[in-house]
Structure 1
Amino acid sequence: MSGLPGIALADWQAQGHDLLWHGQRIRYWTAGEGEPLLLIHGFPTASWDWHLLWQPLAQRYRVIACDMLGFGYSAKPRGHAYSLLEQADVQQALLAQLAVDQPVHVLAHDYGDSVAQELLARHQQGTARLASCVFLNGGLFPETHRPLLMQKLLLGPLGPLLGRLFSPAALAQNLTRIFGPHTPPSPAELEAFWTLIAHNDGTRVMHRLMGYMPERRLHRQRWVTAMQQAGVPLRVIDGAADPISGAHMVRRYRELLAEPDCVLLDGIGHYPQLEAAPRVLEHYLAFRQALAGAGQATTQED
């Protein structure tokens, strides 16, 4: 379906490294050389979401990704107050561990979009350095986010019970709803997603991870202001058929940002990096090439 070879989950796991962050093990991956490109995954999956794009991007850039705290092959402490701000801290700690001392490009998805928004706000404050940011489908604005019923229930009082009862069948049902009508997740992808979620008893912390929805509302103004004023080149590459953050989110993006740079992928759902990886790669590389061209033009004019 993708047109790109990808990386089997077992091979992906074997290629990872460990960062010890505040006593918690964070699994991370890095490959390639050149300008640093930080890939930030979404909920409820993990950095393997990028496996189809990993090698094509690593041929051009130094790609970096981690499974955030509570996700994938990283630690999933129970009773922990998970926070998007803390996940931004994890990303910055990883960059420090890898001695990245130049502005970093960011490619983010879903939950990772919110982490990227926080990094943009820190860029504006002078505590992070971003060179560009590209968002795939995600809840950039709380007023346009349309969560699944399961997400709403996980956030409520029944969340702990629902997490423990969450099953491969429930995962397949929920993910199939948010993929495009002609690009559903394959059985192998669903099996891999379940492996990542279930690792380290991850279903027992899903309800705690859902705190990101009210946290988005809390930080909305700061994050939207950062997108508007931080001066970092931005692009949205969005699967238009996504019921959670599809074309309706892009309409709001165009209302709130001056000169918005948006790409809509018709018929594609919430996971464009899996459903339409070659198209995402094409539009991402075009964005980077335009940035490089603008930089060369600026240099020539200077």
Structure 2
Amino acid sequence: MTELSLARYKELAQYSQLCGHKIAYWQSYAPALAKKKDTILFIHGFPSASWDWHYQWKYLAREYSLLCSDMLGFGLSAKPQKYRYSLIEQADIYEALLLEKGIGDYHILAHDYGDSVAQELLYRQSLRAKTGEQTHAQLRSVCFLNGGIFAACHRPLLTQRLLKSRLGPLLVKFLSKDSLTASFAKIFGQQSQAKKSHVDIIWELIRYNDGHLAMPAILRYIDERSEWGGRWVEAMINASVPLYFINGIQDPISGRHMLDHYIDVIPNAHTALLDVGHYPQLEAPEEVLSLYQEFLSSLVTRDE
């Protein structure tokens, strides 16, 4: 698998001022023969960045227009300190980006923290459908990877719980690449452990502009999931667009137990399982790409 270097990731980044913040984003336009195809919006997880999607991006760019960004507090984007981070604002920023880029129909491929942002965007579309509010960007499907789709089933690591606590601002100063490596060892699959080069890049992106210091504030998303989870799950149950859940079942945070609950709650649940951990897009990149391409193809068939 060809790995995208951090230097190249930075070189390809573009920047826009969205909702008052400098946000790094990447955009790829479909080839001329496929220009009528919809856009895929990639939404990354905590604590990494859109770099996570580099393998899937490389191949999907041959057929689709693509768009992603590093969310506020992540990667190459602005990382304000002593700031009240919110999943709701992250959704606001994505809507502003979609509007700025003139995106019409689009699909979401999301992971972890990004699952919650995707749920909020799905909820907003369902609400607009009820009120008759018009918007240029129309969400056509959502594919979730491992994440806290259901707040009650989410099992955060002890490290995350401590960083979220009052001790977080103190403890985060002692966060290191070794501690990140140890955390990843717990959440990646037994046979698909994180590559050293991957940990190196993710760590550099976390540390960029002292981003590690913002982690305790960002982790309030765990509480937001409980606060807003009811409306998100209702939007999923009544979704008018196709949903798909690709789950790495070895994940202790949101693995098989999350998948089982998803199947119990979501009508006619469309799912796939992989024998990996919390980061399927890095642990089983080819399999995730293949499964997602099949899902997209099924949407075309359905529309026909």
Q: TM-score, normalised by structure 1?
A: 0.95
Q: Which amino acid aligns with 1:205?
A: A
* Letter of the 2:257 counterpart: H
| Aligned counterpart, 2:34 | none
Task: Give the superposed CA RMSD.
Answer: 1.0
- Specify the SS of the correspondent of 1:60: coil
1:287 corresponds, among 288, 295, 301, to 295
1:120 aligned onto 2:119 = no
Give the corresponding residue for 1:26: 23
Identity of aligned residues (%): 45
What are the ranges of 5 or more consecutive residues in structure 1 without an aligned counterpart? 297-302
Does the CA contact (< 8 Å) of 2:116 and 2:225 recur in 1? yes
Are positions 1:273 and 2:281 aligned together?
yes
Which residue is 2:80 aligned to?
77
Deviation track 1:227-247 (CA, whole Å, cap 9, x = no partner) reads 011211000001010010001
For residues 170-181 of structure 1, what are the structure 2 equivalents within 5 Å?
170-181=179-190
Residue pairs, 1:1-302, within 5 angstroms: 4-33=1-30, 34-100=37-103, 102-126=104-128, 129-266=138-275, 268-296=276-304
Deviations 1:34-70 (A, max 9, x none): 3110000000000000011111011111110000000
SS at match of 2:4: coil
Structure 1: distance between partners of 2:20 and 2:155:
35
The answer on whether the counterparts of 1:236 and 1:261 sit within 8 Å (CA) in structure 2 is yes
One-letter amino acid of the structure 2 residue matched with residue 140 of structure 1: I
Q: Is the 8 A contact 2:19 2:92 kept in 1?
A: no
Measure, in 2, the Cα distance between the counterparts of 1:96 and 1:54. Answer: 21
Letter in 1 for 2:295: F
Contact 1:123 1:230 in 2 (8 A): no
Q: How many Å separate the matches in 2 of 1:31 and 1:79?
A: 34
Distance 1:165 1:73 in 2: 22
* Stretches of 4+ aligned residues off by more than 6 angstroms: none
Which amino acid is 1:222 matched to?
Answer: R
Letter in 2 for 1:28: Y
Gaps of 5+ in 2: 31-36, 129-134
CA distance in structure 1 between the partners assigned to 2:292 and 2:81 by the alignment: 37
Q: TM-score, normalised by structure 2?
A: 0.94
Write out per-residue CA displacement over residues 116-162 of structure 1, whole angstroms, 9 at most, x where no aligned residue: 00000001012662100000000000111010001000111101011
Q: Indicate the SS of the match to 2:149.
A: coil
CA–CA distance in structure 2, aligned partners of residues 178 and 149 of structure 1:
12
